[in-house]
Amino acid sequence: MADYVKMWKDLGMDLENHDLLCQVLPTAVGDVFLTQENRPAAMDFWDLVISEVHGIRPAELIEEQKKGRKVFGTFCVYVPDEVIIAADGIVTGLCGGSQFWVPGGEAVLPKSTCPLVKASVGARLGRTCPFFRIADMYVGETTCDGKKKAYEILGEDVPMYVMDVPQMKREKDTLKWKGEIEEFAQKVEEFTGNKVTPEKLGEAIHIVNEKRRALARVYECRKSECLPISGRDALLMMQISFFDDPARCAQMCNRLADELEQRIKDGVSVVPAGTKRILVTGTPLAVPNWKLHNIIETSGAAVVCEEMCTGTRYFENLVSEDGDTLDEQFMDLSRRYMKTNCACFTPNRGRIDDILRMAKEYHADGVIDCSLKFCCLYDTEKYTVSRALKEAGVPVLSIETDYTDADAEQLRTRIGAFVEMLNG
């Protein structure tokens, strides 16, 4: 760790406060991950990364910046990484998942803002996250009121570019989104000084597709009745994938998938036969938000899938690799991203269909639909999600939570009762 202190200092971080954050993390990692038995050996990569999450990857990013590459920080699965990669830029996720950052966000945002937005703003303003310090440009999007308005405040502090995501999914909206991607590409070209050519974009599309395929392979293994990986471990892999180099991410996920596929052949499961399988749906779980998975999996059930941005919404659907011109490629990108069923769209029947399909594919015994407090979009959609699942005969528990520990006992009681009901 000592090696990183100089780096953090050079990044203008608040070392004293950052130390407090660094002190908490190892205990959390120990409690949530290292207590598990029979973990896949390939989790060693993510254990290492998370143990020095503010060190290893930030140091790599700074090395690349020294070579002249630009780092783009993003908050949403709607920002097309492909465009950035095509211009030799680097993408890193910037979502904050710790209560540690919330008070800093509340200094400038209403308390009734979702914790993810408050934590992200707090991480930046409090100078306690290296990723927020390293990013040369932030790329936002208009997917929710909270982020949309928070970007205005962030934009006073950093170069901020916002993409206008359509709120509906008609053909003209796909065209509009294509236009936004095209305009973003111009911005990225200007900012990096590198041209986005059809060849470069084609390569970038392939790189990100490969990452999606690798993540999907791991998720495919979670469909098996013989469950080779815990929900916590799969979540950690997913969370880190937002920060990692995409090619290495694909390599590591494929390495993990190799092991998981072998485990399934060998009948190696991380849980006893008959353990109830939970599909979790809703708002993203940013690092180090492991609360929900930890409670579920220490209540006798197993999480088998996340219908979340930190989950299926990140890797489902590939971009066509057939486009030869930028025009075709931008349209291919738009088509793929517009397939992602975020609650920001209206109507959003596609998400209900996704959830029903995933409940089947992953052989879920029950669904826990969880949204972050004050996330109006996912919170409102709970009504239709819950109704559709009930109609399909799938038990569902709707919950709302934040980053504090205040509701942990209450959640444990409710989730425990839900699992008991499933077992009954």
Instruction: State which residue, 197 or 380, has the beta carbon closest to a copy of itself.
Output: 380
Sign for the CA dihedral angle at 53, 56, 62, 65 comes to negative
What three-state secondary structure class fits 311?
A: coil
Binding residue (CB under 8 A) for a copy of itself from 377, 394, 397, 411: 377
Site for a copy of itself in 186-205 (CB under 8 A): none
Give the count of beta carbons closer than 10 Å to the beta carbon of residue 41: 9
172 binds a copy of itself (CB under 8 A): yes
145 binds a copy of itself (CB under 8 A): yes
109 binds a copy of itself (CB under 8 A): yes
Per DSSP (E only), the strands in 98-163 are 137-141, 160-163
* Six token digits for residue 313: 């919404």
330 binds a copy of itself (CB under 8 A): no
Binding residue (CB under 8 A) for a copy of itself from 24, 168, 406, 417: 168
Q: What is the DSSP letter of 338?
A: T
Rounded CA separation 157/155 (Å): 5
343 binds a copy of itself (CB under 8 A): yes
Instruction: State which residue, 233 or 369, has the beta carbon closest to a copy of itself.
Output: 369
Binding residue (CB under 8 A) for a copy of itself from 173, 203, 220, 258: 173
Rounded CA separation 220/222 (Å): 5
What Cα–Cα distance (Å) separates residue 95 from each residue in 22, 164, 397?
17, 19, 26
373 binds a copy of itself (CB under 8 A): yes
164 binds a copy of itself (CB under 8 A): yes
* Six token digits for residue 212: 């999606």
Binding residue (CB under 8 A) for a copy of itself from 68, 157, 383, 420: 383
390 binds a copy of itself (CB under 8 A): no
374 binds a copy of itself (CB under 8 A): yes
Rounded CA separation 389/367 (Å): 8
Give 72's strand partners.
91, 137
Which residues sit at the interface with a copy of itself, rule CB under 8 A? Answer: 108-110, 112-113, 142, 144-146, 148-153, 155, 162, 164-168, 172-173, 176, 179, 343-344, 346-348, 373-374, 376-377, 379-384, 400
